[in-house]
Structure 1
Amino acid sequence: CSWACPYGAREIDEARQVMTKCTLCVDRITDTSLPEAERKPACVMACPTNARLFGDVHDPKSEVSQAIRERDGYELMPEWGTRPANRYLPRRQAD
């Protein structure tokens, strides 16, 4: 996994001898000392093109829910029944 991942998200924890992966910065998103606008994973905060969104897909007023509705967001392989938390947005059409 770690060799194949193009994002470097998977790493071997040598001390524990296990593969680790991204936790969506659970420490950041649950840190109530941060302003709510900053309680997002580092990748979302740092993305220079704003290509990543993060939020509660079950809250119809959230930015992420609105984007999913407005741009016909979709799940990958829904037939597997895994109920993934991630949604994908189609590419925007060039003007």
Structure 2
Amino acid sequence: MLRPYTSPNNMSNRTPEQIYHDLAEVMAAAFPNHDISTEMGSETRVFADLGLTSIELVVLGERVEQFYGRRLPFGPFLAGLRARGADDLELGEVVAFLQRHV
């Protein structure tokens, strides 16, 4: 069972490099048919570079929650991206989000 989301008092003690590694591990397990061997960096795009679909992004969010053992506020995060007109999501944005919330 996942712990409910609670706003952390400070940022994660995980480095961006550790979070990139976590994401690569989660994506490899969740999407074995995708080639995620591409070097992932802050400007790597979820849709254009990694080839994920929008439903796979939802699955990724669920798997990340399972990996970290807590619910995360992905809804407001994604709504903010839509509000600014973003058509893709860079991994740097995901890592910054996770640093704030795990």
Same fold (TM over 0.5): no
Higher helix share goes to which structure? 2
Higher strand share goes to which structure? 1
TM (norm. structure 1) is 0.29
TM (norm. structure 2) is 0.28
